[in-house]
Amino acid sequence: MATSTQLLSATDYVVLVFLLMISAFVGLYHAAFKGRQRTSKEYFLANRSMHPLPVAVSLAVSIVSAITFIGTPALSYVYGPAYWPKIFGCILAAFIVSFVFCPVLYKLKITSIYEYLERRFNRIVRYIAVIIQLFSTFLLLGVVVYAPALALNAVTGISLFGSILAVGIISTFYSSIGGIKAVVWNDVIQSSIMVIGFFLIIIAGCIKVGGIEEVWSRVVEGNRTFAFDFRPDPTIRLSFWSTSIGGTFLMLSHTGTNQNQAQRFLTCTDLKSAKIATFCGLCLVGVLEMLAVFTGIVIYAFYFRCDPLKNGFIAKADQIVPFFAVEVFSSVPGLTGLIVSAVCSASLSTISTAINGIVTVVGEGGIKKFWPQLSDAKFTTIMKVLSVICGLIFMLMAGFASVAGSMVIPLGQGLVGALGGAVAGVFLLGILIPWGNTNGATAGIITGALLGTWIIIGSVMYPPISTPLPLSNDRCPVNDTFIFTTTTMNTLTGSGSHSMATNMPFDIEDSRTGITRLYSISFLYFSAVSGLSSLFVGIVISLLFPCKDLVDANLLSPFVVEACQRLPQTLRDKCPIRFTDNDVRETKTVDVALLTTQP
C-alpha cells in the first residue's frame, strides 16, 4: 500500500514530455507539409480527403475524455459493472448518426453543421444552437482539464497548474498550426497511449491479484456481478435503461449534432466513408467504455478488503486510478509516467477537438457573415489566431473551476448533457419531421434547454442519494500508513457525474417526493429529457402554427423522403416536401423561404 503522496521519477517525466513533444511535432509537420493549411477547406476539413479509419479513432477519442479514463473506472470501483450496458447505447447511436444524420449533413457539403439549421429553419435557430455549443464547450473544457489534473496532483504530486498549462499549450499549439489533420492524427496516437494504459492496469492488476480467476472470485464475493438492472425507476443511477437509452441520447448529442465531433465525418472522402467512420467510431467508444469498466473491476479486486477510500488514503474514488498506478508501477521506471501520459492524452484530444470545432463555428457563422469579402488566405490566418485565443480561454476556465470549487463540476457536466440534448432534439425535428417548422424549432430548442438547465440546477441543490456497493478494509496490513495533506483533502473536488463522495451513506433509499423527486433522476437521462422535450414541443408547435413553405427533400432523412414518396398520391400531396433531383446543389446559405422556389 502506498505510504504517501509520491512524486514521479525523472524517467516518468521523460515519458510524459516525450508524448507532449510528439503531439507538437505532428502539428509542425502538417503546418509545414501536407497542404500547409493555407486554405480554410484544408484547415477545417482536410480537403475532404481523410480515410475512415483514423477518422473513426479520432471521433472515439474526442468523446472519451480524461474524466472517462479516471472517472469511469472509479464509477465501476464503487458501483460495480452496471455501466457496461452503455455499449448498447453507443451501438444504437452509431446506427442513428450513420444512417440518419450523415446522409443529410455530408451531402450538403457544409463546414459548420449548424448551417443546416439555418437552411432548414432560419438564422435564429442556428445562432441559438451555436450559443449553446459555445457556452457548454467552454464550461465543459474547464472541468475536463481541471478535474483529472487535480486527481493527479493529489496522488502523484504533479503541479496542478503546471499540468493545466502544459496540456493547454501543447493542444493549442498543434491545433492552431496543423488544423484538423493534426488533430485527427494526434488523436490516433493518443488513443494508442490510452488503450496501452488501460491494458497495463488490467494486466498488472490481474497478475498482482493472482490471475483472472481470482479477480472474478473477488468480484463475486464482493457482490459485483450484477451488470443489468432492469428496474424502470429513472432515479436508479446505473440501470440498463439509463445506460442504454440515456447513453443513446448522450452519444447523439455528442456526435451527430455537435460540431466538435461531427466535423470528423465531414472530412471523409465520400458519404460511404463518413458512415463507416461514424459507425466504427461510436462502437469504439463503447469498447473503450467497457475497458474502463473492467479496469475499475480489476482495481477493486486488487484493493479487495483493503479499500483506500474507507481508510482515508484517498479523498475521492476519482483518485483510484492514479493511486493504483503509483502503488503498482512506481518500482518500474517510466510506467507511472505512461499512465499519466494516458490521462494527458485524453485531455489533449478533448481540448484540440473543442478548439477546432469552436473556431469552425465562429468562422463560418460569424466572421464570414460579417466580412464576406475576406480572402480565403486571410480568413485562414484569422482562424489560426482565433484557435490560440480559444486555447487561452480554456486554460482560464480550468483556473476558474479550481477557484469555484465543487459546485461547478457537477453543474458543468450536467449542463453540457442537457444543453446538447436540446440541440439534438431540434436536429431530429428538422431531419425526421417534414412538417417541422421555424416556430416549432425555436420553441423546442428553448424549452429543452430551459427544462434541462432547471433539472440540472435542482440536482445540484438537492443531490440524489446514491447507494454504492459495500467496500471493506478489514484485511489491511496493520503497519500501513498514509500521509494525505489537509490542504489536498479540502481542495479536492469531484469530476462531475462520475464523482463519488466518500462520506455518502450506504444502502439509503431516496424518500423524496413531488418535484424534488425529479431532481433525483440518473445523470444519464439529462440529455434524453431535454432532447425529447425539445423534439415533442417542436412537433406540437409546428402542428399548431403551421407554415405553408415546402421543405427541400435534401434537408430531410432519405428514409423520410422515401417513405413519403411511397405514400398514395392523395397523402403524398399533403407532405410539405419539395421533391428535387438527388444531387445537392452547392449554394450559399439561404433561408427556408428561398428553398420553396422552384429551380
Residue with cell 497511449: 193
Is 411 inside any structural domain?
Answer: no
Tens digit of each residue's pLDDT (9 = 90 or more) over 282-291: 999 999 989 9
Residue 457 lies in a domain: no
Contact by Cβ (8 Å): 81, 293: yes
Cβ contact 395:160 at 8 Å: no
Confidence of residue 458 (pLDDT cuts 50, 70, 90): confident
Task: Of 341, 499, 392, give the one whose Cα is nearest residue 12.
Answer: 341
**pLDDT given for residue 591 in this prediction:** 39
CB 149 within 8 Å of CB 160:
yes
pTM here is 0.84
Is 495 a member of any domain?
Answer: no
pLDDT in tens, 343-381: 888 888 888 888 888 888 888 878 887 887 888 888 888
CATH number at residue 223: 1.20.1730.10
Select from 368, 430, 371 the least CA-distant residue to 129. 430
Grid cell listed for 338: 505512461
With 90 as the cut, is the pLDDT of residue 463 above it?
Answer: no
Is 293's pLDDT higher than 70? yes
pLDDT, one tens digit per residue, over 394-429 is 888 777 766 655 444 555 556 677 788 899 999 999
DSSP 597: S
Any domain includes 140: yes
In a 10 Å sphere around its CB, with 0-12 CB exposed, 13-18 middle and 19+ buried, how is residue 396 labelled?
Answer: middle
| 530 assigned to some structural domain | no
Residue 458 maps to a domain: no
For residues 55 and 40, which has the higher predicted lDDT (pLDDT)? 55
Is residue 41 situated within a structural domain?
no
Contact 294, 150 (CB under 8 A): no
The residue segments making up the domain with residue 164 are: 10-32+50-358+378-406
Comparing 17-31, 80-94, 474-488, the range with the smallest average pLDDT is: 474-488
Q: Which of 144, 139, 95 is nearest to 275 (CA)?
A: 95
Q: What is the pLDDT of residue 545?
A: 92
**Kind of pairing between the strands at 577-578 and 551-552:** parallel
Judge whether residue 36 has pLDDT over 50.
Answer: yes
Q: With respect to residue 286, please indicate whether it lies within any of the assigned structural domains.
A: yes
How many residues make up the chain in this entry?
Answer: 599
pLDDT digit string, tens, across residues 164-220: 888 888 888 888 888 888 899 988 998 898 899 999 999 999 999 999 999 999 888
Contact 266, 111 (CB under 8 A): yes
User: Total domain count for the chain?
Assistant: 2
